[in-house]
């Protein structure tokens, strides 16, 4: 397979066929994200994509899922994306789900009917970075949209019958807005009501504006206790009709996997136990991305 640069995928796609169709991210402005810094967004040549699909058709017969990278492959024009999904389905008939990253800006380029057509062609899940529901923080980290648009775009994906997985970032607002960020994010998740939520802890990268702000003393990273307090507030303000709330990413201090609404109270109790010192937190050296 032809992989160029850093290729990332959601943890749940660990066993998927990773098909790199685009390079970079069409937005590429978020101050905390260093994945595609210096990469000009473009779609890879058709011939390379076709070669990769042919390779997967021969050598990836045991993998039931395909994940299309890079950053926001949903930005591909509708006709092109539909043709790609059809090609994947034809060549890899055993594949049961195709997923990709889609930010709110790229979802906005599709109507509900467009998304329904993509679902019928095999698109089963969209992974969206919400990061925070706090408009002040969204603007500061240059996410490009506000919380209301995030909710509308997330709901548009689910209205089309496509599963929605949303990530939020603990620590993103710094110490001063920590609790505002947590509360607003909980309320935004409630309004969106996605199928999956993944809470990650912010890790600063030196090649990002936020990492550089940290080095210059303009941004303070909160510690493990504040991260947990944020997670507690976020979960308290989150109501999901039947979603899975994960906070078990490698970057997190306390692994949590909760089916809402039934596991919500027990998870908050677990956080309280950790905050009270009754459960040890993951040591710094075991945290990684
Ligand atoms: S939209 Fe996602 S991939 Fe693009 S810069 Fe922001 S966080 Fe990074």
pLDDT tens digits, residue range 90-121?
Answer: 999 999 999 999 999 999 999 999 999 999 99
Report whether residue 248 contacts ligand 1, using a CB cutoff of 6 Å: no
Where residue 279 falls among pLDDT bands split at 50, 70, 90?
confident
The verdict on the CB of residue 103 being under 6 Å from ligand 1 is yes
- The number of beta carbons lying within 10 Å of the beta carbon of residue 17 is 25
Express each pLDDT in 200-239 by its tens digit: 999 999 999 999 999 999 999 999 899 999 999 999 999 9
Task: Give the Cβ contact number of residue 109 at 10 Å.
Answer: 15
Residue 210 and residue 61: Cα distance in Å, rounded? Answer: 42
Which residue among 9, 72, 103, 207 is best mutated to probe the pocket of ligand 1, counting the most ligand atoms within 8 A of its Cβ? 103
pTM across the whole model: 0.95
**Alpha carbon of 95 to ligand 1 centroid (Å):** 27
Helix ranges (DSSP H) in 172-223: 178-192, 209-215
Which segments of 24-101 are extended strands (E)?
A: 42-43, 65-69, 97-101
Return the residue whose CA atom lies nearest to atom 5 of ligand 1.
28
pLDDT tens, position by position, 132-145: 999 999 999 999 99
User: 129 CB less than 6 Å from ligand 1?
Assistant: yes
Q: Atom 6 of ligand 1 has which residue's CA nearest to it?
A: 30
Atom 8 (ligand 1): residue with closest C-alpha? 33
pLDDT on residue 283: 67
For a substitution probing ligand 1, which of 22, 24, 28, 172 has the most ligand atoms within 8 Å of its CB?
Answer: 28
pLDDT at 132: 98
208 Cβ closer than 6 Å to some ligand 1 atom? no
Residue showing tokens 């493990």: 224
Which backbone phi and psi does 248 adopt, to 5 degrees? -110, 20
């Amino acid at each position: 397979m032809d992989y160029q640069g850093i290729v990332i995928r959601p943890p749940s796609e660990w066993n998927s066929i990773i098909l790199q169709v685009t390079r970079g991210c069409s937005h590429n402005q978020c101050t905390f994200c260093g994945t595609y810094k210096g990469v000009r967004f473009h779609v890879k040549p058709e011939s390379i994509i076709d070669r990769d699909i042919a390779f997967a058709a021969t050598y990836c017969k045991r993998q039931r899922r395909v994940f299309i990278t890079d950053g926001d492959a949903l930005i591909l024009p509708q006709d092109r994306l539909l043709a790609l999904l059809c090609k994947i389905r034809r060549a890899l008939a055993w594949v049961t789900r195709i997923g990709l990253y889609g930010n709110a800006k790229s979802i906005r380029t599709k109507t509900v009917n467009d998304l329904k057509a993509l679902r019928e062609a095999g698109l089963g899940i969209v992974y969206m970075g919400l990061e925070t529901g706090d408009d002040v923080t969204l603007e500061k980290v240059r996410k490009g949209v506000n919380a209301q648009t995030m909710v509308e775009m997330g709901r548009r994906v689910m209205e089309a019958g496509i599963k929605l997985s949303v990530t939020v970032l603990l620590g993103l607002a710094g110490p001063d807005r920590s609790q505002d960020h947590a509360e607003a994010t909980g309320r935004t998740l409630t309004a969106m009501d996605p199928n999956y939520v993944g809470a990650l802890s912010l890790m600063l990268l030196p090649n990002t504006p936020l990492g550089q702000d940290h080095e210059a003393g303009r941004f303070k990273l909160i510690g493990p206790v504040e991260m947990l307090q944020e997670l507690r507030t976020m979960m308290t303000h989150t109501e999901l009709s039947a979603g899975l709330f994960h906070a078990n990413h490698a970057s997190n201090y306390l692994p949590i996997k909760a089916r809402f609404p039934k596991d919500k109270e027990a998870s908050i109790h677990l956080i309280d136990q950790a905050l009270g010192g009754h459960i040890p937190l993951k040591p710094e050296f075991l945290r990684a991305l």
